[in-house]
A and B are shown apart, each in its own frame.
Chain A
């Protein structure tokens, strides 16, 4: 066989091997459109932090002793998961939203389309919704207020359930998926949708009070502060709307999407964007007071602790910022952070993508403790 012919055949063999073995990897089935992992943030009450692990379990940890309050509560994987890596939604129980608490129960929603109510003292399951079957994937977290629990689903509906029994009170259908966590203020619940609108609904019967149309999908959680609703959109704008009728008060354009929930402190609105910046505005007129470049996208919601706003970048760095243009890096965890932060007693709690929970001192930046959430 001549050299050129041999080269030609070898090249052909290489191309075939590439298509067979390397094809899926080269052609995009690596880390993109693979199994959902989740990034649940924590919620704290009575020295206990509740959050969802990446194994799809509800974990309750005593922050003083770092011991589990009760055995992790597992959630059954979805039966409708099919396909392998290249096909989306291929298996696994992921939890994206932070849990919500009442005095007795903790509520947590899983990506496979179920909402669970669990006794916060014992870890026993109280009820699950829906009782049969599943909703479409749930990405946002539940909100429990005044005897009701609100949760949105990828079927485009916001559900209002009885907090004690899980019975459905009402549902409201939007024109697109709901990945946003609802916000409740008084007798109004606010929710954003992939149909690019923010809705204000009556908590009693789900009747629409008003809607505001943006130009991009909404996955961020609305903030209600001082008669104004603040919401970020995929059109790169942060909107400030009148709580009464949804009329526009002011808006601000960033370089990329808004994903997390804004934070209010002392007349200043802080919001982070996946463009890697944290913005601070005068809540009343929208004047930009400060802008902080964190060098990495921010998708988690900030939290207030010890007079400073704590923000985490996806690269794993925790910052403390304030309206005085001060930015201080507290710590670099060197693990990616997508989950929202939780804070209590001078400590900020961070759940990283390695499924590790860190407790970071908000003054010194020292890591007080860290705990893997993986099953022992």
Chain B
């Protein structure tokens, strides 16, 4: 990737800043399927949180039953908690490679140059002519931290926007709300602080990457997501698959008489009588959710 960065820079007016932007876009496009899969899975997990909270309330004391019901819900909805993280973990080596490439190409000291020389492909003669690259880009010297602190602010700001967009606006769980609020501010502030120490070239990569993620989220998550008030959000495209699954699970009639048939009609009827209020509550909830379903064209 070092050599690609250098060659791309050569085609883009010998400008390393433009090369960083271009290669970041290319890498994000290549990893787009994984990114969208991760975003959809995250969104679906968030949609399920209220339902999981209800199960927690209902079966809190019976761990085995709780686990069973949660597994059933995951299975029927097609969502997996690990499925939110695995695409990110697969992409991480690519991001790290791009990050390290930017660091190496931004050689400033003799040691860095000698190190860089061992990563150049001898069959690509142009990489030898192009180094050292022009590290000036707009107001930035890409080899040193941004002295005007614009990039740390942009990194923190774009990261905040990115997280806010996917943050659930409705959550019955106060613990989850508190956790989400903490993450919303902690990560952007942490990365903004780190960016103050990094060469501006790395910070530029981070800003561009965040902006691309925001654009992807806009189209995959449904508009501005958590930036809009609750209720104004609408699901889009393939998100319908998960919502439809969840709604279908809720609407499935639970006839406790059938459940009780195995153990005797009387027992079954007794269970059905006692479960009737819960059944009515479920049906009311299902009707409410029907109102949020997008109309078919």
Q: Is there an interface contact between B111 and A257, defined as CB atoms closer than 8 Å?
A: no
B170 on interface, CB distance cutoff 8 Å: no
Which residues on B sit within 8 Å (CB–CB) of A194? 132
Q: Is there an interface contact between B115 and A234, defined as CB atoms closer than 8 Å?
A: no
Q: Which segment, of B81-89, B160-168, B212-220, faces chain A?
A: B81-89
Assembly CA distance A236 to B131 (angstroms):
12
Looking at the complex, which one of B66, B103, B125, B145 makes contact with A32 (CB distance below 8 Å)? B103
Which residues on A sit within 8 Å (CB–CB) of B139? none
Q: Is there an interface contact between A83 and B145, defined as CB atoms closer than 8 Å?
A: yes
Count of chain A residues with a beta carbon within 8 Å of a chain B beta carbon: 54
Q: Which B residues from 80 to 117 make CB contacts under 8 A with A?
A: 80-82, 84-86, 88-89, 92, 96, 99-100, 102-104, 106-115, 117
Which residues on B sit within 8 Å (CB–CB) of A235? 128-129
Q: Which residue of A lies closest to B84 (CB)?
A: A8
Looking at the complex, which one of A18, A87, A216 makes contact with B199 (CB distance below 8 Å)? A87
Assembly CA distance A16 to B187 (angstroms):
9
Known: A29-B103, A83-B197, A297-B114. A88 touches B128 (CB 8 A): no
Q: Is there an interface contact between A299 and B108, defined as CB atoms closer than 8 Å?
A: no
Q: How far is the CB of B39 from chain A (nearest CB, A)?
A: 15
> What string of 1s and 0s marks CB contacts (under 8 Å) between A233-274 and chain B?
011100000000000000000011101000000000000001
Most chain-B Cβ atoms within 10 A of its Cβ — which of A15, A87, A235, A256? A87
Known: A8-B85, A15-B88, A297-B114. A84 touches B197 (CB 8 A): yes
Q: Is there an interface contact between A2 and B70, defined as CB atoms closer than 8 Å?
A: yes
A86 on interface, CB distance cutoff 8 Å: yes
Q: Which residue of A lies closest to B41 (CB)?
A: A8
Known: A4-B80, A15-B88. A86 touches B111 (CB 8 A): no
Looking at the complex, which one of A5, A28, A255, A338 makes contact with B81 (CB distance below 8 Å)? A5
Q: Is there an interface contact between B96 and A27, defined as CB atoms closer than 8 Å?
A: yes
Q: Is there an interface contact between B144 and A87, defined as CB atoms closer than 8 Å?
A: yes
Assembly CA distance A219 to B116 (angstroms):
15
Main secondary structure on B side of the interface with A = helix
How many contacting A-B pairs (Cβ < 8 A)? Answer: 130
Q: Which A residues from 86 to 118 make CB contacts under 8 A with B?
A: 86-89, 96
Q: How far is the CB of A112 from chain B (nearest CB, A)?
A: 12
Which residues on B sit within 8 Å (CB–CB) of A96? 110
Count of chain B residues with a beta carbon within 8 Å of a chain A beta carbon: 51
Known: A8-B81, A236-B128. A86 touches B100 (CB 8 A): no
Most chain-B Cβ atoms within 10 A of its Cβ — which of A87, A88, A256, A338? A88
Assembly CA distance A12 to B38 (angstroms):
13
A130 on interface, CB distance cutoff 8 Å: no
Assembly CA distance A37 to B110 (angstroms):
9
Known: A4-B80, A86-B197, A297-B117. A234 touches B108 (CB 8 A): no
Assembly CA distance A26 to B103 (angstroms):
11
Q: Is there an interface contact between A11 and B82, defined as CB atoms closer than 8 Å?
A: yes
Q: How far is the CB of A216 from chain B (nearest CB, A)?
A: 5
Looking at the complex, which one of B84, B99, B117, B132 makes contact with A27 (CB distance below 8 Å)? B99
Assembly CA distance A259 to B74 (angstroms):
61
Which residues on B sit within 8 Å (CB–CB) of A39? 110
Known: A4-B80, A24-B194, A234-B131. A32 touches B112 (CB 8 A): yes
Assembly CA distance A36 to B108 (angstroms):
10
Pairs A-B, 10 closest by C-beta atoms? A8-B81, A28-B103, A11-B85, A88-B108, A28-B100, A27-B99, A2-B70, A36-B109, A215-B129, A274-B117
Q: Can you list 25 pairs linking A and B with CB atoms under 8 Å apart?
A: A2-B66, A3-B67, A5-B70, A7-B82, A11-B86, A20-B190, A26-B96, A27-B96, A27-B99, A28-B99, A28-B103, A28-B104, A32-B112, A33-B108, A36-B111, A84-B197, A86-B197, A86-B202, A88-B112, A88-B144, A139-B110, A216-B131, A234-B129, A234-B131, A235-B128
